[in-house]
Structure 1
Amino acid sequence: MTEAELYSVYYGVYMPAGLHSPRSLNYFSEFSFRPDDILIATYPKSGTTWMQEIVPLIVSGGDPTSVETLPNWNRTPWLEENQVYTLKLEQRPSPRTFSTHFQYGMMPKSFFEVKPRAIYVMRNPKDVFTSSYHYHGMAAFAVNPGPQSEFLQKFLDGKVMFGSWFDHVKSWLGAEEKGHIMYITYEELITDLKDCVARIAQFLEKPLDPEVIEKIADRCLFVNMKKNNMSNYSKVSCEVFDLKKSEFLRKGIAGDWKNQLTVAESEYFDAVYRDKMKDVKYKFGWD
């Protein structure tokens, strides 16, 4: 199926129409945040599922009940998806945890008024592309990626779900008020997960004993998280995710793009990256 058949356009970016109805998008635009809410914000395939495992464990003080009994789309629901208005989020006790794939400028008015804590996760866009390429091949609501060269051009042009990676990252890095936003990279999570858990806990003002931090970090190692049926999307219908084509949680590594992109494609990617990110001062660790 084509983009026109599968996607709608919201704020100028493609949205999977089957997951984001006008009703759910309106719910999102009118959503009322609380000051103690926690929002995980990501461009798709940048570590969302990982953070949906880490944050609830920190909030619960290491109690694994929520991550063992609730699918991640219920424990930290996407505020823009269809199911959101059935979850009675207004009745949930604080602190509530949510997720979004939206750019900073697309956030509802209340986000800017009450300034809930937000954790923005970034990942090397070459690895984002690689993961997205496999994801588009197994998700029924996504346009088939087709030849890699064509999908690469779409990705670099922002003609994919949730728009341009470059626009997304720059929108959050350019936030007017950064005091309530924590920036972290997928690569940092891979390099020192224990340190990242400690930093996130500090940001959320949830002091944890060193042994609790260590247990959370161990549980959230990719190889362990991948076994959690509440997080690996094995509970989702095969009509939605064809896990025979690709696992939802695939490798969880940095640098897999080297196994995906040709030398010419990598060099072209680098040239586009340099042009689009030339004014960005943030040190990502993959530049």
Structure 2
Amino acid sequence: MSTSTLSRPAPREIAAAGGVGRLGVGVVTLWLSVIVLLPLAALTTEAFSAGGIGGFIDAVTAPGAVDALRITVGVSLVVALINVVFGTLIAWVLVRDNFPGKGFINALIDLPFALPTIVASLVLLSLYGPDSPLGITINATQPALVLALTFVTLPFVVRAVQPVLIEVDRDVEEAAASLGANNATIFFRIVLPALLPALLSGGGLAFARAIGEYGSVVLIGGNIPGQTQVASQYIQEQIESDVPSAAAAVSVTLLAITFLVLFLLRIISHRSESKVEN
């Protein structure tokens, strides 16, 4: 028997070292089924309970539902784009610059994770509502929705970009600078391709959080149908009106939109990673 044969680990040993085995897979599958799949199945069943496919289509194409979905998706896309730009800028400053209070600012980024979202809505209403101490009144407008959702989704982009930015090879940037490349060229040709998967991931998570958000917009948004009523508020309205099937139908539509966006972003991110590696 050769030395290579003796030193090669058995398949069972490889599985034990690199995975948790069938029991672990079974536990994970059971847990995901209980926490995710069963609620989704129940929600989907409820969505089609009143008239089947026809009832589902009627529910999601009702004027109020269409307006709420349009506002929600539009505002969420704007919020995701804003956070991709400013979240990247914040991550860049936190990684590349040293300044007094940097640790405090870095900790402040996570505040929206800890703060109850309805408290954020109350604070924003006190700042930008009818009695604004700043003299800026934007409550019950779509800019107020954008402001509230930008606040609660900012950490997703910053925390997605930071670790990637830390790992970016500075030697390549310095080499490009020594060859005469300006800062814009270095960023768009060297740094941005490396950051693109993280930007897509963070932007996708920000969009997913914004599209289902309720607490941060409940006070400052105004809940005006056709103007500032988001899908989560429309869903609550349908539940209070004892039309749970319509609420479930809109919920399933939101889930489908979010899944489709995240799936497409994952494909683009995977292709970007492949290009960077090659």
Fold in common (TM above 0.5): no
**TM-score category, normalised to shorter length:** under 0.3
Q: TM-score, normalised by structure 1?
A: 0.21
Return the structure number with greater strand share: 1
Q: TM-score, normalised by structure 2?
A: 0.22
Return the structure number with greater helix share: 2
If asked which structure has higher relative contact order (CA below 8 Å, sep 6+), I would say 2
